[in-house]
Amino acid sequence: MTVWYDPLTPAADAANFLDEEQSLIDHITIQITQVYTRLQSQGRVARLTYLYQLLSETNRVIAHSQNQQALLTELQQVLLNLGGFAKIVIALKADDQADSPLVIQFHHNVSANILPTLQTVLQQEQNPPLNHVKNTGPDVDVYSYALVNAPDAHISPEYRAWRHYLKQEQVHQAALTPLLFNGHFWGLIGLYTTGRVEFDQEQIQLLQNLSRDISSALERFSAEQQRKTAESYSQQMEQRFQQVFLQSPVPMHIISIQD
């Protein structure tokens, strides 16, 4: 806090503040600091509460979901019911190929006018936040940053427009949580908040747990779908062979090598 007298007032001629003035300034500074610290603590507790609830609800959804679409549908509803963040974006790859494009699956409170720009941004590699998330390792590296301190160099015009939109919407903090499939980047959850409380290590840990739980569920759904596909293919081949065997014009006898 900076305090000064108007140069036109008589008090401005004094070389230093009086002891009483300095004491009053110190008292005001302490009060402002205490209020700011209390507000920061309240914001942190509120966000931690939200993330714990989100993790709990996500695990409940995972336990009851039978496929990827059901999981995403229920997860979207959980995010809407809990609130907590000003804007939310979920983007996933169209398929499990390395060069598959990211597609926006869900968004909350994001203007329709900016969505085409965001879709373009998701495909670009040069912008620091997305580049960092796309190259995450198996440990799930959550990328959190403050909009006010975001670097302006080496970014695309589309990303600059997206960031400008977020600033206009009074977004101050963001966290991008990667989703993995078999250890490789497969999508992300973007959480944007108007609060000024930074994401601390405990909050990052909760987002990492959220990512691991969702990623594990997606891999389980994929394995189950592959099993069902293999079973269906096996049944089809069995039926075809049975038709060939029954419709053969000449007698057929099947024996094993052991026989």
pLDDT tens, residue by residue, 184-239: 888 999 999 888 777 888 888 888 888 888 888 888 877 777 777 778 777 787 77
Every domain of the chain and the residues it spans: 84-224
Give the chain as a DSSP string: ------TTSGGGG-SS--HHHHHHHHHHHHHHHHHHHHHHHHHHHHHHHHHHHHHHHHHHHHHH--SHHHHHHHHHHHHHHH--SSEEEEEEESSSSTTPPEEEEEEES--TTTHHHHHHHHH-SSSHHHHHHHT--TT---EEEEGGG---TT--HHHHHHHHHHHHTT--EEEEEEEEETTEEEEEEEEEESS-PPP-HHHHHHHHHHHHHHHHHHHHHHHHHHHHHHHHHHHHHHHHHHHHHHH-SS------S--
pLDDT tens, residue by residue, 158-184: 999 999 999 999 999 899 989 888 888
Mean of the pLDDT values across residues 17-22?
77
Q: Does residue 58 carry a pLDDT above 90?
A: no
Across the chain, mean pLDDT equals 81
Domain 84-224 matching CATH 2.60.40.10: the answer reads no
Query: What is the pLDDT confidence band of residue 258, given thresholds at 50, 70 and 90?
Result: low
